[in-house]
């Protein structure tokens, strides 16, 4: 069951009469089947040693299903922590080294060695059968169409036209690679919050559609979780292929999977029928959208004006 390279390492260490510690833990029930944010809040409430909490949190951020097409080297929801006492630099957590990350990318259809913003296994768990009537011909996040792939945003998407795609939606600005990677890291450092999801054309290696789910922790609704749909865009050359519906319903089902009590959005008037067709409604007496833009509001530009709040 174990990875062959690991077996060789263990045999060599034993032959050299060195100490090696290994720990195999099955966390499928506790760690793979519930929203990680909820789980971490419960762990922290137990007032465990801070180092233990950080260790569990770090594991959750790396949690991936390790299942190959032919044979697994670790069961789903299982990880192995390998520590070589006198050479700690050789220690690793499966699946944590470079080769395993390449395997991880291959398994999940990600660009080789790239890092996703969130766990792509979440997309694979989405149940499109409950909304199959929305698509004709049928498509889903798992089967979006020839050469298309639905996945989380990745670090490498700076070079796959993600920002150029967003510019079809609104002003983006001149964002450097460093700025993009910095913002990506900041989002990833907020676990269970940012779910930027894209559709890639694997023949052109370009991102052709995107939408973002942002979750918000609330005190209301029994300390519930609210979702917001943001930045929905489809490349103009790919319109008419149901990709708008696909990317919106992917993040909508993702919000449901994560346990959000509601999902809301702002849109232009001409798009109301489109979102109505996907189950979003204008709630009577509660459908206003109001904005104050700090780069242009006269209240903040003119210090002589006082706003009554």
Same domain, 226 and 123: yes
**Residue 290 included in any domain:** no
Same domain (yes/no): 128, 94: no
Please give the residue range of the domain that contains residue 83. 4-101
Do residues 67 and 203 share a domain? no
- Same domain for 90 and 182, yes or no, is no
Last residue of a domain, one of 53, 73, 101: 101
pTM listed for this prediction: 0.68
Are residues 193 and 235 located together in one domain of the fold?
yes
Residue 91, in any domain of the structure:
yes
The enclosing domain of 161 has a CATH number of 3.40.630.30
Alpha-carbon dihedral angle through residues 124, 126, 128, 130, given to the nearest 10 degrees:
150
60, part of any domain: yes
Q: Do 270 and 133 belong together in one domain?
A: yes
Q: Using the 3D structure, point to which of 101, 119, 148 is the last residue of a domain.
A: 101
Residues 130 and 270 in one domain: yes
Is 158 among the domain residues?
A: yes
Helix (H) or strand (E) holding 187: helix 177-188
Nearest to 71 by CA among 6, 8, 2: 2
Beta carbons of 97 and 73 less than 8 angstroms apart: no
One domain for residues 70 and 96 = yes
Q: Digits of tens for pLDDT over the chain (309 positions)? A: 445 566 677 777 777 777 766 666 555 555 555 667 777 777 777 755 666 777 777 766 655 443 333 333 333 444 444 444 444 433 334 444 455 555 556 556 677 768 999 999 899 889 999 999 999 999 999 999 999 999 999 999 999 999 999 999 999 999 999 999 999 999 999 989 999 999 999 999 999 999 999 999 999 999 999 999 999 999 999 989 999 999 999 999 999 999 999 999 999 999 999 999 999 999 889 888 888 888 766 666 665 555 444
Asked whether residue 121 falls in the same domain as residue 207, the answer is yes
SS3 of residue 106 by DSSP: helix
In a domain, 236, yes or no: yes
Residues 251 and 132 in one domain: yes
User: Does residue 149 lie in a domain region?
Assistant: yes
275-280 contacts at long range (C-beta below 8 A, 24 or more positions apart):
275/248, 277/134, 278/134, 278/245, 278/248, 278/249, 278/252, 279/252
Domain count of the fold of the chain: 2
* Residue 265 shares a structural domain with residue 151: yes
**Is 297 inside a domain boundary?**
no
Residues 91 and 120 in one domain: no
- Does 52 map to a domain? yes
Choose one of 66, 83, 101: the last residue of a domain.
101
């Amino acid at each position: 069951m174990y990875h062959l390279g690991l077996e060789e390492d263990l045999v060599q260490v034993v032959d050299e009469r060195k100490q090696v510690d290994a720990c195999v833990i099955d966390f499928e029930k506790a760690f793979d089947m519930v929203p990680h944010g909820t789980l971490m809040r419960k762990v922290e409430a137990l007032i465990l040693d801070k180092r233990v909490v950080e260790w569990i949190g770090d594991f959750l951020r790396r949690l991936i299903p390790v299942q190959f097409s032919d044979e697994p080297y670790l069961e789903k929801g299982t990880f192995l922590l390998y520590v070589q006492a006198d050479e700690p630099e050789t220690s690793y957590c499966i699946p944590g080294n470079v080769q395993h990350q390449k395997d991880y990318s291959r398994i999940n259809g990600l660009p080789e060695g790239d890092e996703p913003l969130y766990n792509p296994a979440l997309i694979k768990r989405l149940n499109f059968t409950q909304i199959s009537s929305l698509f004709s011909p049928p498509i889903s996040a798992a089967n979006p169409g020839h050469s298309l792939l639905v996945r989380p945003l990745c670090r490498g998407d700076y070079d796959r036209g993600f920002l150029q795609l967003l510019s079809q939606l609104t002003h983006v600005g001149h964002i450097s690679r460093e700025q993009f990677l910095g913002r990506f890291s900041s989002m990833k450092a907020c676990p269970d919050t940012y779910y930027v999801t894209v559709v890639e054309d694997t023949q052109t290696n370009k991102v052709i559609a995107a939408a973002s789910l942002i979750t918000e922790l609330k005190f209301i609704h029994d300390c519930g979780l609210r979702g917001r749909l943001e930045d929905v865009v489809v490349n103009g050359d790919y319109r008419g292929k149901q990709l708008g519906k696909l990317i919106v319903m992917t993040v909508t089902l993702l919000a449901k999977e994560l346990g959000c009590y509601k999902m809301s959005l702002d849109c232009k008037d001409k798009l109301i029928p489109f979102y109505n067709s996907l189950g979003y409604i204008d709630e009577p007496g509660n459908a206003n959208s109001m904005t104050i833009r700090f780069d242009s509001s006269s209240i903040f530009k003119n210090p002589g004006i006082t706003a009554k709040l």
